[in-house]
Structure 1
Amino acid sequence: MKPTLQRPVVFKDSLSAPVVSPIMPSVVYASKTPDELDSQYAGEAHGYTYAREGHPNADILAQRIAMMEGMQGGIITGSGMAAVSAALMGLCENGDHVVGGNQLYGRSLRLMSEDLPRYGIETSLADTTNAQAVAEAIKPNTKLVLVEIVSNPTIRIADLDGIAEVCKEKGVLLVVDNTFTTPAALKPVEHGADIVLHSVTKLLAGHADVTLGWVCAKDPALMERMTIYAVTHGLTASPFECWLAERGLATFDLRYQRAQQTAQRLADAFAEMPNVKRVVYPTRQDHPEAARAQSLLQGRGANMVSFEIEGGRAQANAFTEAASELAFAPTLGDVGTTISHPNSSSHRNVPEADRLANGISEGFFRVSVGLEDPDAMIAAFTKGLKAAQEVSE
């Protein structure tokens, strides 16, 4: 992915322009007349009214992410889950049906299993590594299919092209969460996605200091529906966090490339370490969808690695405590490496049988690889794994 150009913001009546976008924290915007205000609400003139309905920093950030994704505009929301909610809740209504991947992020699964049904929206889960399974899950009242290209936290690769073909054939919207993959690895809109979303909190912003989301649809009518939902339900993002995320985008390509290189090396190192049962990384030949990962992602594995160690919770505790140089935290995308344990964080509310069916055991960990020295990182993991092995013995 080619880095986007940082174009200065141009101010009226000024011969020069700031290189860095200014923070514009105003909650309210004044108009001259009721007619002017009407024209803004009617979409006949551009302007701002109330920050919950939009503000300049959100628009700047949304457009810059859209440029990376090959789309136009989009909505900045207060979190990644707010972006998921804007798509699902903003577009679906009582009597509709939604299909989601059975290995979605834990909160997305909870939204599917608990919240949507409360509003009369039927849901089903399907194995998105198999387009036929998704096709069989679609019903006459299915409104949309929600897919993560690389699943969280199991790093499985969805049959995106096959699912897009199924959705097109059946007249169903395809919503793609591109958080793990990022537009550096793949642009979903080029593979048939109708709606693309991100947890901007993660790799795009990249510094673990903002909580934001982004969602965009190709169809302006769908964009309007999602926008109305986001505004009505107050999914607003603050100008300061939008400004921080825009700053993060300036180094995104460099961060992505460095983290990806280290992740590939770390995954190979894990495979040689004692006490590691399995490693899951898209570019490895032992990945369950290795051929698809190569054709779809073109050798780009991104920065997420998952692995499973021998033993249970006692070994997991020993591992994270001993690998103290690396943050044990339920997040990803920071410049620093973080280790996540899905059973105690993102998937703690998923039934144990479902977790185990997807390979998420007590010994299963997800690593968000950062920018540290690779040798120091491998040494820290080796120390942690040795401690876990000693507990086993």
Structure 2
Amino acid sequence: MNRNSKGSIIRPDPLPESASRPVVTPLSPSVVYASDTPDALDDQYEGRVHGYTYSREGHPNADVVAKRLDAMEGVQGGWVTGSGMAAVTAALLGILKAGDHVIGGNQLYGRSLRMMKEDLPRLGIATSLADPGDVAAVAAHIRPETRMILVEVVSNPTLRVADIDGLAELCRERGILFAVDNTFTTPRAFRPFDHGADIVIHSITKLLAGHSDVMLGYVVAREPALNERLRVFSVTTGLTPSPFDCWLAERGMLSFDLRFDRAQSTAIALADHLSGLSGVKRVLYPTRDDHPDRTRGDALLKGQGCNMVSFELEGGRAAANAFTRAAEGLSFAPTLGDVGTTLSHPASSSHRALTAEERRELAISEGFFRVSVGLEDPEKLKEVFELAVSEAMSA
């Protein structure tokens, strides 16, 4: 029967069957999926068959991205969220309850720090911050009610390297969940589950998707029951990813390995070049001999360093303004992971909510920049930075 023969049935019949299949994953923007009968819907909800119901509870494009990241991290059952901070939220609020205590790295991304300092305490969850490179300092904050420790492998934006192995051992000994944000390093450089993590978080928005046109996150737990809690919380609170963003992210992830390797090699060259420029006070990159965590970084990352470079100009805010104006062709934007190199000024963006004193404690000055290195020609990039630093010093 042709349901549309008289125009009384709105929705068309399913797509025609085909002996071939599309090479590119189809975009599935449908919010809702139809089932044949109530019994068939029961079979889906009760796990006897796989199917989709309502896109807040999952959709094909999110599953494609999740499975790709699962394979990269060596796990199963990861969940894609609407942003990286949604993934952080799922890991914290999907597991912790009022009366619990969580320890965070003291150099987390600015919004993660805000959640630790303001939002969790408001909900009755106590928090502490400690240097993730100092296991003894973290251990000193543990209480009987401590439930989780959350750190970044390489911190945003100061590029300090956490003592992941030491913290994992501490968590095992004390029965504490160990959550690791792997956004900067990505599975190309580091796999936290291989080092004892219980939960892994990503902002897919960044280098994984890689084109500044996607807003997505990812969270997964090693233990299936814990993973189900993350999923249920994400569904209940609507931390839902857009099918279109997932479709774009899959496209970006197809070239991820190539982009990561190219950007990382350029980042190494740029860090070395910046270190020799007059007016640059310091350069931070994990594989450099002058990096404060070089020994730990070598042991943990095995020579990988990611595509991020941070550096500090002499001259404060005036020099920072002059630098961004003179950095021709580079986007000054609070993001990272694009195909083009971007500049971020943490004092005016990611860490602006911190007090000046708190930023000083993290060594984030008005002259401090975080660079997300893209795919430009390395020599051209060096020229742009050299000119911009020169202009900054003239200011």
TM-score normalised by the chain length of structure 2: 0.95
Alpha-carbon distance, 1:14 to partner:
4.8
Alpha-carbon distance, 1:33 to partner:
1.4
- Choose from 327, 336, 350 the match for 1:332: 336
1:235 and 1:44 map into 2 onto residues whose CA distance is: 25
> 1:91 maps to which residue?
95
Matched, 1:251 2:255: yes
Q: Residues 212-248 of structure 1, C-alpha deviation per residue, up to 9 Å, x if partnerless? A: 0000111111111111111111110111110100011
Is the deviation greater in 347-356 or in 360-369? 347-356
- Choose from 146, 153, 158 the match for 1:154: 158
Maintained 8 Å contact 2:77/2:227: no
Percent identity between matched residues is 64
Report the 3-state secondary structure (helix = DSSP H, G, I; strand = E; otherwise coil) of the residue aligned with 2:94: helix
- In structure 2, runs of 5+ residues without a counterpart are 1-14
- Choose from 265, 277, 282 the match for 1:261: 265
- Choose from 208, 217, 223 the match for 2:221: 217
Matched, 1:164 2:168: yes
1:63 and 1:139 map into 2 onto residues whose CA distance is: 36
Letter in 1 for 2:287: T
2:173 and 2:21 map into 1 onto residues whose CA distance is: 49
Matched, 1:310 2:294: no
2:214 and 2:78 map into 1 onto residues whose CA distance is: 18
> 1:389 maps to which residue?
393
Q: Residues 102-134 of structure 1, C-alpha deviation per residue, up to 9 Å, x if partnerless? A: 000000000111111111000000100111111
- Choose from 155, 174, 180 the match for 1:176: 180
Alpha-carbon distance, 1:138 to partner:
1.5
Matched, 1:236 2:240: yes
Q: Residues 250-279 of structure 1, C-alpha deviation per residue, up to 9 Å, x if partnerless? A: 100000000000000000001100000000
Is the deviation greater in 282-291 or in 132-141? 132-141
> 1:270 maps to which residue?
274
Deviation above 4 Å: which 4+ runs of structure 1?
11-14
- Choose from 24, 37, 61 the match for 2:28: 24
1:138 and 1:350 map into 2 onto residues whose CA distance is: 24
Letter in 2 for 1:96: D
- Choose from 76, 88, 92 the match for 1:72: 76
Count of residues in Structure 1 that have an aligned counterpart in Structure 2: 381
Q: Residues 174-221 of structure 1, C-alpha deviation per residue, up to 9 Å, x if partnerless? A: 100000000010100000000101000000000000000000111111
Letter in 2 for 1:121: I
Report the 3-state secondary structure (helix = DSSP H, G, I; strand = E; otherwise coil) of the residue aligned with 1:100: strand
Letter in 2 for 1:33: T
1:295 and 1:236 map into 2 onto residues whose CA distance is: 37
Is the deviation greater in 341-350 or in 37-46? 37-46
> 1:354 maps to which residue?
358
Maintained 8 Å contact 2:184/2:308: yes
Maintained 8 Å contact 2:56/2:235: yes
Matched, 1:226 2:230: yes
TM-score normalised by the chain length of structure 1: 0.95
Maintained 8 Å contact 1:80/1:200: yes
Of structures 1 and 2, the larger Rg is shown by 2
Q: Residues 329-349 of structure 1, C-alpha deviation per residue, up to 9 Å, x if partnerless? A: 100000000000000000000
Maintained 8 Å contact 1:59/1:73: no
Maintained 8 Å contact 1:98/1:123: yes
